[in-house]
Amino acid sequence: LNNLTTHIDRLCTHMVEISLKQYDEITDTWWRNQALKNVAFFAVAKAALDPDWNPPDLVANMVESVLELMEAHAGFSSDWFMHQREDFSQYVPRGHYTRSEALERYFKGLMWLGRMNFRVFPDEDWLSPEQDNERGQNETAQAILICEAMNRQSSVLLKEDVFRVWRLIYLPTAFFVGESDDLTPVEYNELALSIYGDDYGLAEIVNMDLLEEFRLEAQELRDPRILSDFMIDYMCMENVTKGMAVLGQRFIPDSYMLWQLVHPNVPGRTMPRGLDIMNVLGSDRAAEIIGTTPGEIYLSQIEMLRDEFSGLTLANWTQNLYWLWLYSLIPVIDGFDADYPSFMNTSAWNDKCLITALGSWTELKHDTVLYAKQSYSSLCIPPVPLYGYVEPVPQVYARLASLCKMMLDGLEGRYLLSVDMRERLGYLHNLLLELRDISIKELTSVDLSYEDLYLLHRFGYYLRAIEQGETTDIDRAALIVDVHTDPNDNSVLEEATGDPIIICVAVPTYNGTVFIAKGATYSY
């Protein structure tokens, strides 16, 4: 561990130093911003490893906001400098990494370098296609700058190959757990060499046309095989997660099995079971316990996975320690014939063997929780969303959209618009235009599309995504303000709103019937 920590610290120190140099050397504002985010990115990892280290002043606030989210175990949040929706509950030290403060720090630093992904063509459900594309440009540019920085030397790595230092971290963990499920800096650097040429530098990189060429070529590289992030079931996993991770979490066969056995691969099944792993590995007893309740699609997925894993060679099963550990469990759950003692042919012994395999597998997961890529279910939405309705006042939404656009342009023209606020206001503007279009459909008796209904179904979530990070500890909507003073009797006119009032309205559906819609309105 000491060697790994030393190498990670040296790598991060190098990357902070060179990313700062890139920031100073680049003249293009957009590219400078990507370099600055890289400074913050590696400073987060270094600060997690060494709490006594002070990040550069330029990024100190950016780093602190991420460390606070890590410490709060805040769940999904995009309220940090890259605006990715990250699951900060993953930064709770666990497994063997709770035994000392040094291990806890190592866990957080490496979890950051393993989970954070510089995506090629991301798909965020609360962003417009244009904003998604801009996000992909930002993150891919960061990845390319990282590769360029890894081809340089620094005060801490003066005469060393930075990629060699990276391998000193990556290869030992690959021996234990496996190869990265995400694309690596080595793969991205090879692509950069083919596009920008040998000995490429900042002069070659700062080119938006070549950036788009790089993204298109990167999209053709190998796909991730495990979902380990937030995704709605209609999204494409490759778009949501495909990209480069500095020390990406590893592809492990059991996470792949679990991902194949939950929604959307098995519609509606959002939580797998440890028995699923034993079922795939050939345990008929596990299959018997699970039964047919999960449905036909589950059973066909099990059959597909059994075929896939039963066809693996010895070389596949012995590629690293993780795979070999799993391989060692198969004889335990295979059952025993008449050549074995009679007690080993009983159902009780069969159950004991299944429990043994599950216990050993649990220990394996415990030992590798930091490096292995955890599977996620995608967010399950109803096949037909609940009815939704928006008050059909298209002029109001159009004017509010104009107000939002005026604010965007006005703040930007006065150099008062942060990247974060530009994104939030841009999304609010798009959302208001969509409400305008939906309300026009409602007034003209045009059926709402699936996308329209889904937007209305998730409207509160979208508003929360826009305001995230701007809230205070005061969550109540009620407020009071003085608006006029009468010096004749020293009195003041105060206006106030209370908590929102629930309102129920009988509204028309799209097939000519009526349903009761419940929402909120002002109290005054």
Residue 255 pLDDT more than 60? yes
Q: Is 369 helix (H, G, I), strand (E, B) or coil?
A: coil
Would you say 90 and 97 are in contact if contact means Cβ atoms under 8 Å apart?
no
Q: List the structure tokens of 341.
A: 């003692």
Nearest to 103 by CA among 323, 343, 369, 315: 369
Identity (one letter) of the amino acid at 155? S
Residue 380 pLDDT more than 80? no
Cβ count within 10 A of residue 263: 16
What is the rounded average pLDDT of the residues 119-144? 87
Dump pLDDT digits (tens) for 188-228: 999 999 999 999 999 999 999 999 999 999 999 999 988 77
Whole-number percent of the chain with pLDDT over 90: 69
Q: What is the pLDDT of residue 382?
A: 60
HEC string for 284-343: HHHHHHHCCCCCHHHHHHHHHHHHHHHCCCHHHHCCCHHHHHHHHHHHHHCCCCCCCCHH
Distance CA 498, CA 479 (A): 7
Q: What is the pLDDT of residue 445?
A: 86
Nearest to 65 by CA among 85, 40, 89: 40
Distance CA 88, CA 503 (A): 36
Q: List the structure tokens of 217.
A: 């070529």
Q: Give the DSSP H/E element, type plus range, for residue 149.
A: helix 129-150
Q: What is the pLDDT of residue 472?
A: 46
Q: What is the pLDDT of residue 126?
A: 63
Nearest to 289 by CA among 361, 354, 336, 353: 354
Q: What is the pLDDT of residue 118?
A: 97
Mean residue pLDDT of the chain comes to: 91
Strand pairing of 86-87 and 76-77? antiparallel
Answer left, alpha or beta for residue 229, where phi above 0 means left and psi between -120 and 50 means alpha. Answer: beta
Cβ count within 10 A of residue 126: 21
Q: List the structure tokens of 362.
A: 């649990």
Q: Which residues contact 450 (CB under 8 A, 6 or more apart)?
A: 385
Residue 410 pLDDT more than 70? yes
Residue-range domain boundaries for the chain: 2-251, 254-367, 393-471, 473-524
Radius of gyration over every alpha carbon of the chain, rounded to an integer in angstroms: 27
Distance CA 219, CA 267 (A): 27
Residue 419 pLDDT more than 80? no
